[in-house]
């Protein structure tokens, strides 16, 4: 057939192509030809095989049921948003969870028997994930039991795999309660049989997945489910800082955008616990997964898993389980296979020289397998680590520390070095002239690892500090006073001096103090207009390195402290206003190695500039930390230095919150009461808020005689809203003005209260006397000062 006759789209009958299309000849019906087409009689055609749809292996969800669960999802989202915003319920007399339980029970009843179809549906799978967070222990057991026998298909499905992962994540709290013997009441039913505990159900799911474990580990949808299952069986298989990031970055971003946060709608009843306990059968099952992979896969196949993007995270968890159960220090273990037989060679002859493997050298530089190698370096047995350091790391240390991937593995290995190995590390780097290249390549993880390791090896602290100073070309004592800005911007001394901005004159500094936060933060943001000098942005790695030095013992952290004291006040305030560099000041105040005297001198360096410090979102946090650490005498110094800048603090968006803690009006009027309040001898009355500007109400003695305390009926109830509430609290401005001048107005025709009529009458008489005195004063005034009234003309 010509090529133009195979074009897609609607045919045009009048086109030139149809004129050349051959017309097929009509064939006469011949019975013999029909029999020949059917074939001989002894050939029997097989019945058609009904292949299941891979997208919906258990069938499609009906349209009305899907529409119902969309309404369920909307309602659950609304309740979750209320919990996130901490909004009070409309009717406080009725338990809000009662209505939610009835609604949730109706949704569970509709879901009964359709769990697999809903889990494989692209829309309803997200709804099941949301409902899983609100299920109690009994409902979770019913839900998990309803999908038994189909977990191999579910974990490989595109949408159902996420449902299984969420179920395994929320099941940890239920398993922990069952381990402690806390079991919910289960209704007995002869028709439905006995409902097993969730612990037994999880173990049966593992038995179901074990035969297909070696294939599921490489499945793109099943691998993350296996990670959640291994974390449920053995919580120590993944570090605590990585347990919340079990999903990939792409999956977490999609989930936060389209699904949102998921939590229980019943408050604390459906929440998860922080510490989970597992039964011994779970640990044995986790070891069984390691043994299955070790028996069914050969050494080359295990090594291939290390470089696979899908299987490498699961292999990393299996290595953690193997190391925690003391089965990694054996020949032909998973760790031995990954290290190309290094453990077997050490057990055969500890003194023998092992040739380096090209496979392990490739793992050092691979972006995927380097994460797994970090686990190996951190968990390898102690005697074998010496061989690993001598064979693979030290011979190529100068090149590995500057590699964009291998430097992370080297930093993890430095965390396990002894005194001799740490000495070899910074000595080799100094001899090879690599310290300066580390700074230029902006990879300070190795230097930070040496600082952290030297905390446990005090004899090597001096050598590590000298290596850090040489890396930034800080040789003399004057040069080392600039260690904070050099490390913070990750620049050697010469480059930092070339990029250092010109000093700001006094007029610019005053204008900057009066300007907004955006104008004052130009020094770090790099958005200054043309003609102004710009400084470089602080780097996270430099801030982390400075924090590690500040956490060293007292004689060794003075290098950074002296540099902080040598900084000018405007640069110090600029550091405190940046979210990265302000962590250095937090480390000075929080470090356990810092004495009280050092912290006090650091806080006093801000005297006279505290109003500039707290006039920022980040700087106000530093100011609050300084205030909480300061003693009462230092607090008084800070407060008195801020009295001239009280109006500046009140007008500042962030400084006004800091000013409320100072109570400057009370300090000016009653210093003794202010000191007693700061020292904790006298606490404010519970009924008086601490943020009121009136110093009389701040004083706990005068708070007892306040009108609100004597007249409880004047307080406004919580049900009053809108304008009525504001009017009841504050009143009208004109009424307040007249009350101050002429006394409180009283209706002349109003009857005295039955509770205390004498007080009402006496108050009215006193007000009348005040009004008469004011009128007498007006009439006795000179005629020029009297108010003039225009007389109406009469005809």
Contact 703, 686 (CB under 8 A): no
With a cut of 70, say whether residue 100 has pLDDT above it.
Answer: yes
Q: Please tell me the distance from the alpha carbon of residue 709 to that of residue 688, in angstroms, as a whole number.
A: 9
Other C-beta atoms lying within 10 Å of the C-beta of residue 598? 18
Q: Please tell me the distance from the alpha carbon of residue 139 to that of residue 132, in angstroms, as a whole number.
A: 9
Each residue's pLDDT tens digit, 343-379? 999 988 888 888 999 999 999 999 999 999 999 999 9
Residue 51, pLDDT score = 52
Q: Which of 37-46, 515-524, 575-584, 590-599 has the highest mean pLDDT?
A: 575-584
As a three-state string, the secondary structure of 436-497 is HHHHHCCCCHHHHHHHHHHCCCHHHHHHHHHHHHHHCCCCCHHHHCCHHHHHHCCCCHHHHH
Q: Report in angstroms the alpha-carbon separations of 192 from 138, 187, 200, 615, 644.
A: 14, 10, 17, 66, 78
Residue 714, pLDDT score = 39
Each residue's pLDDT tens digit, 491-510? 999 998 887 655 444 444 44
Q: How confident is the model at residue 231 (pLDDT cuts 50, 70, 90)?
A: very high
Q: How confident is the model at residue 286 (pLDDT cuts 50, 70, 90)?
A: very high
With a cut of 60, say whether residue 104 has pLDDT above it.
Answer: yes
* pLDDT greater at residue 743 or residue 481: 481
Each residue's pLDDT tens digit, 739-770? 544 444 444 444 444 444 444 444 445 555 55
Q: What are phi and psi of 43, to 5 degrees?
A: -90, 120
* pLDDT greater at residue 352 or residue 110: 110
Q: Rounded mean pLDDT of the chain?
A: 78
Q: Scan for tokens 């196949």, then name that residue.
A: 301
Q: How confident is the model at residue 686 (pLDDT cuts 50, 70, 90)?
A: very low
Residue 261, pLDDT score = 72
Residue spans of alpha helices (H) in 591-631: 596-604, 610-613, 619-629
Residue 242, pLDDT score = 52
Report the range of poorest mean pLDDT among 254-268, 649-663, 710-724. 710-724
Residue 55, pLDDT score = 81
Angle (deg, nearest 10), helices 124-132 and 160-179: 10
With a cut of 50, say whether residue 621 has pLDDT above it.
Answer: yes
Candidates 1.25.10.10, 1.20.1530.20, 1.10.10.10, 1.20.1560.10; correct CATH number of 497-649?
Answer: 1.25.10.10
Report the range of poorest mean pLDDT among 73-87, 228-242, 260-274, 284-298. 260-274
Residue 78, pLDDT score = 87
Mean pLDDT along residues 404-429? 94
Mean pLDDT along residues 293-312? 92
Each residue's pLDDT tens digit, 164-181? 999 999 999 999 999 998
Q: What percent of the chain has pLDDT over 90?
A: 53
With a cut of 90, say whether residue 689 has pLDDT above it.
Answer: no
Q: How confident is the model at residue 274 (pLDDT cuts 50, 70, 90)?
A: low
Q: Please tell me the distance from the alpha carbon of residue 165 to that of residue 128, in angstroms, as a whole number.
A: 11
Q: Which of 32-46, 48-62, 327-341 has the highest mean pLDDT?
A: 327-341
* pLDDT greater at residue 232 or residue 269: 232
Angle (deg, nearest 10), helices 137-146 and 198-209: 30
- Name residues whose C-beta falls within 8 Å of residue 65's C-beta, 6 or more positions apart in sequence: 110, 114
With a cut of 90, say whether residue 690 has pLDDT above it.
Answer: no
Q: Please tell me the distance from the alpha carbon of residue 142 to that of residue 194, in angstroms, as a whole number.
A: 11
Q: How confident is the model at residue 422 (pLDDT cuts 50, 70, 90)?
A: very high
Q: How far apart are the first and last CA of the chain?
A: 116
Token pair listed for 396: 């190529």
Domain map (residue ranges) of the chain: 63-181+193-262, 291-489, 497-649, 663-707
Each residue's pLDDT tens digit, 529-555? 443 344 578 999 999 999 999 999 888
With a cut of 90, say whether residue 648 has pLDDT above it.
Answer: yes
Token pair listed for 190: 């002869």
Mean pLDDT along residues 409-418? 94
Q: Scan for tokens 């999802």, then name that residue.
A: 73
Each residue's pLDDT tens digit, 189-201? 656 667 899 999 9
Mean pLDDT along residues 417-428? 93
Residue 23, pLDDT score = 43
With a cut of 70, say whether residue 272 has pLDDT above it.
Answer: no
Q: Please tell me the distance from the alpha carbon of residue 757 to that of residue 192, in angstroms, as a whole number.
A: 75
* pLDDT greater at residue 20 or residue 76: 76
Each residue's pLDDT tens digit, 505-530? 444 444 444 444 444 444 444 444 44
Residue 534, pLDDT score = 44
Residue 266, pLDDT score = 82
Mean pLDDT along residues 288-295? 95
Other C-beta atoms lying within 10 Å of the C-beta of residue 358? 9
Residue 171, pLDDT score = 93
Q: What are phi and psi of 209, to 5 degrees?
A: -90, -15
Q: Scan for tokens 């999903």, then name that residue.
A: 247
Residue 44, pLDDT score = 55
With a cut of 90, say whether residue 116 has pLDDT above it.
Answer: yes
Q: Report in angstroms the alpha-carbon separations of 275 from 175, 285, 669.
A: 12, 20, 52
Burial class (CB in 10 A: 0-12, 13-18, 19+), 153: middle
Contact 655, 614 (CB under 8 A): yes
Q: What percent of the chain has pLDDT over 70?
A: 69
With a cut of 80, say whether residue 709 has pLDDT above it.
Answer: no
Q: Which of 451-455, 683-687, 693-697 has the highest mean pLDDT?
A: 451-455
């Amino acid at each position: 057939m010509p090529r133009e006759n195979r074009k897609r789209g609607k045919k045009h009958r009048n086109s030139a192509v149809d004129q050349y299309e051959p017309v097929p000849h009509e064939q006469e019906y011949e019975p013999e030809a029909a029999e020949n087409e059917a074939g001989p009689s002894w050939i029997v055609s097989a019945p058609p095989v009904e292949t299941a749809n891979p997208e919906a292996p258990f069938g499609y969800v009906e349209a009305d049921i899907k529409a119902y669960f969309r309404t369920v999802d909307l309602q659950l989202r609304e309740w979750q948003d209320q919990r996130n915003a901490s909004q009070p319920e409309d009717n406080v007399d009725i338990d809000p969870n009662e209505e939610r339980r009835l609604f949730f029970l109706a949704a569970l009843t509709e879901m009964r028997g359709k769990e697999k179809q809903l889990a494989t549906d692209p829309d309803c799978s997200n709804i099941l994930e949301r409902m899983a967070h609100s299920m109690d222990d009994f409902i979770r057991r019913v839900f998990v039991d309803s999908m038994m026998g189909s977990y191999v298909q579910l974990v490989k499905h595109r949408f159902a795999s996420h449902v299984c992962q969420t179920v395994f994540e929320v099941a940890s709290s239920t398993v922990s309660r069952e381990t402690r013997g806390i079991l919910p009441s289960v209704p007995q039913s002869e028709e439905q049989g006995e409902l097993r505990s969730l612990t037994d159900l999880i173990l049966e799911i593992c038995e179901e997945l074990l035969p297909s474990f070696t294939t599921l580990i490489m499945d793109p949808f099943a691998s993350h489910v296996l990670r959640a299952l291994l974390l449920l069986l053995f919580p120590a298989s993944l570090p605590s800082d990585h347990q919340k990031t079990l999903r990939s970055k792409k999956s977490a971003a999609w989930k936060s955008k389209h699904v949102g946060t998921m939590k229980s709608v019943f408050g604390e009843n459906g929440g998860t616990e922080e510490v989970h306990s597992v039964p011994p059968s779970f640990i044995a099952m986790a070891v069984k997964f390691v043994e299955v992979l070790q028996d069914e896969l050969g050494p080359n196949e295990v090594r291939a898993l290390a470089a696979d993007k899908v299987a490498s995270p699961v292999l990393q968890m299996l290595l953690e389980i193997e190391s925690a159960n003391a089965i990694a220090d054996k020949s032909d273990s998973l760790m031995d296979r990954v290290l190309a037989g290094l453990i077997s060679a050490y057990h055969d002859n500890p003194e023998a020289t092992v040739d380096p493997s090209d496979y392990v050298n490739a793992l050092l530089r691979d972006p995927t397998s380097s994460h797994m190698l970090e686990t190996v370096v951190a968990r390898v047995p102690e005697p074998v680590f010496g061989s690993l350091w001598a064979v693979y790391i030290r011979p190529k240390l100068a090149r590995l520390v500057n590699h964009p991937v291998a430097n992370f593995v080297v930093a993890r290995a430095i965390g396990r070095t002894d005194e001799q190995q740490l000495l070899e590390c910074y000595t080799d780097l100094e001899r090879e002239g690599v310290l300066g290249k580390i700074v230029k390549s902006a990879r300070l993880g190795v230097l930070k690892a040496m600082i952290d390791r030297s905390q446990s090896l005090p004899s090597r602290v001096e050598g590590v500090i000298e290596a850090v100073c040489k890396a930034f070309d800080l040789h003399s004592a004057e040069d080392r006073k600039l260690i904070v800005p050099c490390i913070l911007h990750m620049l050697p001394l010469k480059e930092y001096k070339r990029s250092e901005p010109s000093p700001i004159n006094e007029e610019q500094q005053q204008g900057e103090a009066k300007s907004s936060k955006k104008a004052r933060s130009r020094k770090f943001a790099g958005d200054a207009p043309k003609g102004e000098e710009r400084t470089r942005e602080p780097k996270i790695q430099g801030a982390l390195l400075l924090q590690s030095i500040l956490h060293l013992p007292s004689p060794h952290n003075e290098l950074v402290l002296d540099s902080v004291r040598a900084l000018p006040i405007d640069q110090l305030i600029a550091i405190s206003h940046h979210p990265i560099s302000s962590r250095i000041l937090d480390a000075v105040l929080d470090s356990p190695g810092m004495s009280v005297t050092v912290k006090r001198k650091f806080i006093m360096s801000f005297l006279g500039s505290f109003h500039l410090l707290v006039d920022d979102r980040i700087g106000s946090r530093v100011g609050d930390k300084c205030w909480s650490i300061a003693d009462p005498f230092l607090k008084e110094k800070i407060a008195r230095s801020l009295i001239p800048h009280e109006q500046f603090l009140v007008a500042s968006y962030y400084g006004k919150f800091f000013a409320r803690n100072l109570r400057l009006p009370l300090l000016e009027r009653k210093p003794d009461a202010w000191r007693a309040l700061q020292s904790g001898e006298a606490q404010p009355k519970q009924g008086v808020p601490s943020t009121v500007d009136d110093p009389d109400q701040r004083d706990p003695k005068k708070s007892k005689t306040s009108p609100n305390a004597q007249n409880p009926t004047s307080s406004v109830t919580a049900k009053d809203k809108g304008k009525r509430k504001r009017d009841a609290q504050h009143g009208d401005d004109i009424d307040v003005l007249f009350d101050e001048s002429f006394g409180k107005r009283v209706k002349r025709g109003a009857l005295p209260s039955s509770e205390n009529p004498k007080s009402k009458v006496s108050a009215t008489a006193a007000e009348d006397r005040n009004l008469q005195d004011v009128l007498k004063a007006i009439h006795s005034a000179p005629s020029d000062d009297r108010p003039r009234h225009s007389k109406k003309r009469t005809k």
